[in-house]
Amino acid sequence: MKRVQTIEALQSHIEAAKTKGRKVGFVPTMGALHPGHASLIERARNACEEVVVSIFVNPTQFNNRKDFKTYPSTLKDDLDVARKTGATTVFTPTVDELYGGDLKVGPVDYGRLTSAYEGQKRAGHFDGVVAVVRKLFSAVRPDMAFFGEKDLQQLAVIRQLVRSEFDGLEVVGCPLVRERDGLAMSSRNVRLLGESRQDALKLNQWLNRIKSTACNGRDVSAVLQAIESEAASMKAIELEYIDVVDAKSFEPQHNASSQQGAFAIVAAQVGGVRLIDNCCVACS
């Protein structure tokens, strides 16, 4: 596995691979790799001969300075995970290499995809995500790019970016990976201390409750309200949103059982750690 830090070195390596007819898969990450990331790299390796993993904690997508400062950094372990799961190249640029000293990013307006839920709660977040993913796609020029469905709204935003600017690039959404007890895997989980780790399980329990309501053919509005009331009475959890939406448009979808692509989505602060989770509620 090769590690490169500059766009120039990356591009000459990728050009050489493409000349040999190798298909290029790309897995962008912010490091602190866990089994969810490993599953993306493995999936990329099954589809492509050349697999580039980027590790870059993108400063422009953090609306909260403390979250950026405390974002876990485990580069040595990350390189091991990348190597073991089949990455052929790891790209670890500096902030200057990608942004050239200018951290201002332009606003992105993809309607509800960038303005609702995550877009509303994390002002400017998707501006930063789109800015960095655009830079990374332009540097790597992959044939396929792999993203986790854990960040469901981000995935919809990236699909829109690709439709508008990266013709021919195939975006592959990969299933969310959970801990044994149901907690969605996230690089931030290591910051869940003491009882917060147990409290965090509530998110998945709420999603399952919504799913079973939807699968019984009932409108989910009442259960959403009940969960909001329960959350309001809990000290340990600060609920930011919970809803059922269409995963392509992020329009609410409260009569969900018959709708393909209906997902329950949730975001909450648990013990000072911001968590998101989702599950498909459409029953086949």
**Site residues for ligand PAF per CB under 6 A:** 28-30, 58, 61, 129, 132-133, 151, 154
Helix H or strand E encompassing 145: strand 144-148
Does the active-site annotation cover 125?
A: no
Q: How far is CA 108 from the centre of its chain?
A: 17
CB of 72 to ligand PAF, least distance (A): 12
**Which residue lies nearer to ligand PAF by CB, 39 or 58?**
58
CB of 21 to ligand PAF, least distance (A): 28
Site of tokens 């307006």: 109
**Which residue lies nearer to ligand PAF by CB, 58 or 160?**
58
Copy the structure tokens of residue 232. Answer: 């309001």
User: What is the pairing mode between strands 144-148 and 24-29?
Assistant: parallel
8 A C-beta contact, residue 14 and residue 103 = no
8 A C-beta contact, residue 187 and residue 29 = no
**Which residue lies nearer to ligand PAF by CB, 58 or 114?**
58
CB of 217 to ligand PAF, least distance (A): 34
**Which residue lies nearer to ligand PAF by CB, 105 or 220?**
105
β partners of residue 51: 25
Residues, the chain: 284
8 A C-beta contact, residue 192 and residue 273 = yes
CB of 277 to ligand PAF, least distance (A): 14
Question: Which residue in 244, 262, 260, 241 sits closest to 252, CA to CA?
Answer: 244
CB of 219 to ligand PAF, least distance (A): 32
β partners of residue 263: 245, 280
CB of 132 to ligand PAF, least distance (A): 5
Candidate list 13, 34, 37, 254, residue with the active-site label: 37
**Which residue lies nearer to ligand PAF by CB, 140 or 282?**
140
Question: Which residue in 112, 103, 29 sits closest to 71, CA to CA?
Answer: 29
**Which residue lies nearer to ligand PAF by CB, 129 or 264?**
129
The string over 163-201, giving b where at least 16 C-beta atoms fall within 10 Å of a residue's C-beta and e elsewhere, is eeebeebebebbebbbbeeebbbbbbbebbeeebbebbe
CA atoms within 13 A of residue 147's CA, in its CB half-sphere: 20
Indicate which residues carry an active-site annotation: 37
